[in-house]
Structure 1
Amino acid sequence: MGSLLSGKSGTIFGVTATNTESENNGLRIAVIGAGPAGVYSSDIFLRQLKKLGDELGLGTEARIDLFERLPVPFGLVRYGVAPDHPSIKFIASALEKTLDNPHIHLYCDVEFGKDVTLEDLLERYDAVLFATGAVKDKPLRLPGADLDGVYGAAEFVGWYDGHPAGKREWPLDAERVAVIGGGNVAMDVARELMRNADDLKAKTDIPDNVYEGIKANKAKELHLFIRRGVAQAKFSVQELREMEKLPGVQLIINEDDFELDDDTIEMAQQDKLTRQMVEELYAIREMAEDMEDDGDVDFEGNPADRKYYIHFNSAPTEILGEDGHVKAIRVEHTETSADGVMKRLGSFTDYPVEAVYHAIGYKPESVTGIAYDEHGAHLANANGDGRITVEADNGEVRDRLYATGWAKRGPVGLIGSTKSDALLIVTNMLEDLAKDAEGGRVAADRDPESIDRLLAERGVHPIDFAGWKRIDAYERAEGAKEGREHKKVIDPEQFRALAHEVAGE
C-alpha cells in the first residue's frame, strides 16, 4: 500500500499527494482517538496555530495525524449514542468536514500500544494528544450484580449501535426489565428496550442483526429507577421528548414524586437547563395521566402493549436471584433535599424483573505507558490541565504528552465540554511548544511519510479518509435499497475490504 497521503489527493480534496513544504517544516502532532474529542482538538489546534503561531514563534503550519483503533472514525458519536437521536447525523457531518482537511491525516484500524508505540510517536511527532474516550461500564457494586441477566449499558449500546467488537446477538427474552440510572445513557437504553423494531428501522441506520433482535424483544414492562428527585435528574430535554413519542408504550409515573417543595422549585429555576428539564418532566406527568385516563394508551391514543414506569427517589440496593438468574430488584425509597443531598428512608420495595441494565457511568480506557487516575477515572494529568503526569497524585509533568475529553476529565460532560477541553489543551500545547528550541520542532524524524513506512513494515494497513468515504458511500447505498438514509456495516473485515477496494491496495 502506498503512502496514506494519497488519500488526500486529486480533485476530491483539491491538493496533490506530494510532500508540501508545510508538511516537511511544520509542527507534527499525533492524536490518539478519532472521536469528537480528537477531531475537535485537531481542528482547534490548526485554527489556533493560524491565529497565534507567528506570535509564538511556531509558524502557522502543522500536520496532524489521527490514529484510531477502530476501522472507522467518530467514536461515541457512531458507537455510543442511540441510533434514533436525530442530532447524530449533524454531529457526524461536522466531524467529517473537519477530517476533510489536507493538514489532517486519518489512520483508522491502527491500535496504539500494539501497532504503534509511544516511542514510535515521540520520535516522529512534536507532541502526542490522547483522546481515547470511554467504552467500558463502571462496575455495579450491588449484591447480585453477577447474576445472569445483569448487563452494563456500554455493552448493550455497543450491540445496538453495531460496534465492530460488540456482540452480534443479544438476549431480549425478559418480559419485565429494570434500568438503573438518572442520565441520558439510561434513557437511551430504556427507550431502545421499549422501541418498535419496524419504526426504529425506518428511521435509523441499525444493521439487520439489531433489527431482528429488537423485533424479537419480549419486554412488556420496564422500570427506570432514578436515585434522586425530579429536580436532580440529569436528562436532557431532547431525551425526554424522545421518550414521549414511543409507539405502543404507556408512560406511568408516581404523582408523589412531583410534589416538590418551594426550596427545590426555587433552586431548579436558577439554572436554565434544569428548569427546562423539570418543566418537560411535568409535561410528561400530565401525558402519563392522560394515557391512563384514556384507557392505557400511547402518545397517539392507540392501545399500548408495553408499560414504561418512571421511578424517582428510588435507589436500587440489591438484585435478587434464583438459580443464578435475576428474579427481582430491591429498591430503597429516598428523599432529596433542594441542594441535591439524598437521604435513604429505610423502606424497600421489590419489583419482579428478569433483566437489569445499569447505566451508572462509563470508565475511560487506560493507555499503555500512561498513568491512570483510578479515583477520577481518567488519564493522570496535572490539575486537570491536560498535561500528562508520571503518576496520578501530584505527579511530575511528562514532556510532549497531553490528554483531552473523557481521557482528561473522566466520563462527564457532553459535546460542549469536549470543545472547551480542546481549547484549553491546545492552548497549553502551544504554550509548551513555544518554549522549546527550533520553534517546537523537537521530533527527530520529520519525514511525513516515515509513519507510513513504519506501519507498512509491520504489516499494518490503515484506513484513511478516502477509505472511510468508500465505507460511507457503501452504507448509504445499502440504506437506499431499503428507503433509508444509511445502514451500518458491522464486520471489521468488510470495513477493510471496502476501504482498500482500489487498485494497488
Structure 2
Amino acid sequence: MEHMSETNELRIAVIGAGPAGVYSSDIFLRQLGKLGEELGLGTKARIDLFEKLPVPFGLVRYGVAPDHPSIKFIASALEKTLDNPDIHLYCDVEFGKDVTLDELLERYDAVLFATGAVEDKPLGLPGADLDGVYGAAKFVEWYDGYPTGAREWPLEAEEVAVIGGGNVAMDVARELMRNADDLKERTDIPDNVYEGIKANKAKTLHLFIRRGVAQAKFSVQELREMEKLPGVQLIINEDDFDLDDDTIEEAGKDKLTRQMVEELFTIREMAEDMEDDGDTDFEGNPADRKYYIHFNSAPVEVLGKDGKVKAIRVEKTTTSADGKMTRTGEFEEYPVQAVYHAIGYKPATAPGIAYDERRAHLANANGDGRITTEASGEGAQVRERLYATGWAKRGPVGLIGSTKSDALLIVTNMLEDLSKAAEGGRVAADRDPESIDRLLASRGVKPIDFAGWKKVDAFERAEGAKEGREHKKVIDPEQMRALAHA
C-alpha cells in the first residue's frame, strides 16, 4: 500500500524558486494540512519547484542590494522551507525550453507561475539610447553576481544621475556611493564587484524623484541605510520639505508613509548638520562624495555629445496632497556622464501564457491568480489548473512581505478549485513521481536539487571564511553546476 499513497498525493508544479514560489509551496502544504480533509483532498501533496537558474531564491539572492541586513534573515527562512521532504527543488530547469506546459499539465494537478521579473521598464526619454544610460536591473545583476549577468561594469563617470522614487533607485544610488572595503567586510560580494566598486570614480550623485517627499515609495530601512554611508555628504533642497497641511494630513493616514516622511525629515536634519560641520559624512569625517536628493524633479531628456551622456535635463514639478504631479515648465541641467533608471521592472512573460501588457503581468482573472486566455475583456476565460502569484500575478509592486499575503489568496483559490475537480483534485493523467525525472534525463537536462544547492552554499561559506566573511558568492554558472553535481 505504501507506494499507492505516494502516487496518490496531490501533485503541484511551481515555476520560479524565488520568495513567491517558495512561500506559496510552504503555504500550500500548510493549508492542505489544515483544510484538506474537509475539502475532500486529503492532506498529502508533492510540490516540484522549477527554477531556470542553477540556484534558488530569485530576488533575495539576485535582486536586492547585498548590504541589506534583512536579506540573510529572509534567505535562511526560505532555506528552512525548502528543506521539506514534500518539496522537491529542480534548479537549472527552464520552463518553455527544458519542459513544456503540456508536459507539466500531464504530470501535475495544477501549475503555479511565480516567475518574477528580470527586465527593466524602458526609460522612454529622448537620449535614452546614449552610451552611459543603464537600466537598474542590469546593474543589480552585476553587483549581485547574477549567473548570466555582466562581469565588468563601467564606473568611469565622476558625476552620475539615478532616476526613481523607490527602493531599487535607493539601492543603486547607495552602491554607487559605497566604499568598497566597507561593503566587502559586511556582504557576500564577489571579487569582481569589489574591484569594480573600488575603482568607481563617482564623486557626485543626483537622485531624481518626480513627486514630493510625501509621495516617495522608500522603505524606512532603505533610508536608514542611506544615512550611514562612510565618506558621503547628503545634500537636500529645503524647499522640498515645505509640506502644506493637507499633504501632512494625507501622509499621516498611512502608517508606512508617515514613518517614511519622518525618516526623510531626519535626513533633512542630518544634511543640514553635515553642511554646518564643513561638508562631512554621518560620523563627522570629511566627505569626499556628494549625494544630492532632488524631490519634485522629473527628468525630461538625457543630453549627449558624440553618442555619450553629458548631462540630464530635469523639469521642476509640484505635487498636490492627493499625489497628482504638475509640471512647472522650469528646467535645469545637471552635468552627468552616466544615468541609471530605476523606474520599475517588467515581469517576465511565460511561453504559452497570455500577458497583460498594460499592467505588466501574466493575464489573470481580477487579480485572483487564476490564469486567463487573454488580458481582459469579453473573451477572457479562466484556464483550468493554471495560476500566478507574486509579481507574475500583480506586476512589479510591493515588498517581499506582500508576496506572502498574495500566496495565501492564490493557495486558497487553488484548493477551492481542486476540491471541485473530479478524482479529489487528482486530475493529472501521469501520477508517477519519477516521470518528470525520466523526461528531463531523456533531454540531457541535469536538475540541481536541494542537496546540490547545499553544496554550492557550503563552498560559498568556506570561501568567505578564508577572508573572515560569512559568505562569498560564486558567480559562474558552470562552477555552480560542478559544485552541485560533485
TM-score normalised by the chain length of structure 2: 0.99
Do residues 48 (structure 1) and 31 (structure 2) align? yes
Deviation at 1:20, TM superposition (A): 5.3
> Residues 492 and 348 (structure 1 numbering): CA distance in 2 closer, same or farther, change over 3 Å?
same
SS in 2 for 1:209: helix
Q: Contact 1:365 / 1:407 at 8 angstroms: preserved in 2?
A: yes
Q: Deviation per CA, 1:19-47, whole angstroms, max 9, x where unpaired?
A: 85543111000000000000000000000
3-state SS of 2:69 partner: coil
Question: Corresponding residue for 2:444?
Answer: 459
Q: Deviations over 1:320-365 (max 9, x none)?
A: 0000000000000011111111110000000000000000000000
Match of 1:489 in 2: 474
Equivalent position to 2:393, from 403, 408, 414:
408
Q: Counterpart in 1 of 2:167?
A: 184
Between the aligned partners of 2:311 and 2:343, the Cα distance in structure 1 is 19
Residue 102 of structure 2: aligned partner: 119
1:365 aligns with 2:348: yes
CA offsets 1:404-449 (integer angstroms, 9 cap, x no match): 0000000001122111110111111111111111100011100001
| Aligned ranges 1:88-167 → 2 under 5 Å | 88-167=71-150
Please name the residue that 1:426 is paired with.
411
- For residues 401 and 463 of structure 2, what CA distance do their matches in structure 1 show? 33
Once the two structures are superposed, the pairs formed by residues 205-220 of structure 1 within 5 Å of their partners are: 205-220=188-203
How far has the Cα of 1:251 moved from its partner? 0.3
CA–CA distance in 1 between the matches of 2:269 and 2:362? 44
Partners in 2 of 1:124 and 1:415 — Cα distance? Answer: 30
| Pair 469,143 (structure 1): closer, same or farther in 2 beyond 3 Å | same
Which amino acid in structure 1 is aligned with residue 127 of structure 2? G
Residues in 2 aligned to 1:480 and 1:19: alpha-carbon distance in whole angstroms: 45
Report the residue type matching 2:474 in the other structure.
Answer: V
Distance (whole Å) between structure 2 residues aligned to residue 157 and residue 481 of structure 1: 26
SS at match of 1:121: helix
Structure 1 moving runs of 4+ over 6 Å = none
Cα RMSD (Å): 0.9
Q: Is the 8 A contact 1:19 1:448 kept in 2?
A: no
Q: CA deviation at 1:246?
A: 0.3
Q: CA deviation at 1:269?
A: 1.1
Q: How does 1:429-448 map to 2 (within 5 A)?
A: 429-448=414-433
> Where does 1:26-425 land on structure 2 (aligned, <5 Å)?
26-394=9-377, 395-425=380-410
Q: Distance in 1 between matches of 2:334 and 2:9?
A: 62
The alignment partner of 2:315 has SS state of strand
Task: Output the amino acid matched with 1:446.
Answer: R
- 2:419 partner amino acid: A
Partners in 2 of 1:375 and 1:215 — Cα distance?
40
Deviation by residue 1:44-69 (Cα, 9 ceiling, x = unmatched): 00001011111111100000000000
Shift of 1:382: 0.7
* Alpha carbons of structure 1 residues 93 and 22: separation in structure 2 relative to 1, 3 Å: farther
Aligned residues with identical type, % of pairs? 86
What SS does the corresponding residue of 1:310 show, helix, strand or coil?
strand
Q: In the alignment, residue 184 of structure 1 is paired with which amino acid?
A: N
Which letter maps to 1:351?
Y
Deviation of residue 268 (structure 1)?
1.0
1:475 maps to which residue? Answer: 460
- The offset of 1:271, in angstroms, is 1.1
Tell whether the 8 Å contact from 1:22 to 1:62 is kept in structure 2 after alignment: no
Residue by residue over 1:222-256, the C-alpha shift from the partner in whole angstroms, topping out at 9 and shown as x without a partner, is: 00000000011100000000000000000000001
* Letter matched to residue 410 of structure 2: I
Aligned positions, number: 484
In 2, distance between residues paired with 1:114 and 1:141?
31
TM-score (structure 1 length as normaliser): 0.95
Amino acid at match of 2:264: L
Matched residues in 2 for 1:279 and 1:317: separation?
29
- Give the counterpart letter for 1:30 in structure 2: A
Distance 1:168 1:343 in 2: 41
Alignment partners' CA distance in 2, 1:305 and 1:484: 27
1:449 and 2:429 correspond: no
CA distance in 1, matches of 2:129, 2:261: 35
Q: 1: distance between equivalents of 2:5 and 2:190?
A: 42
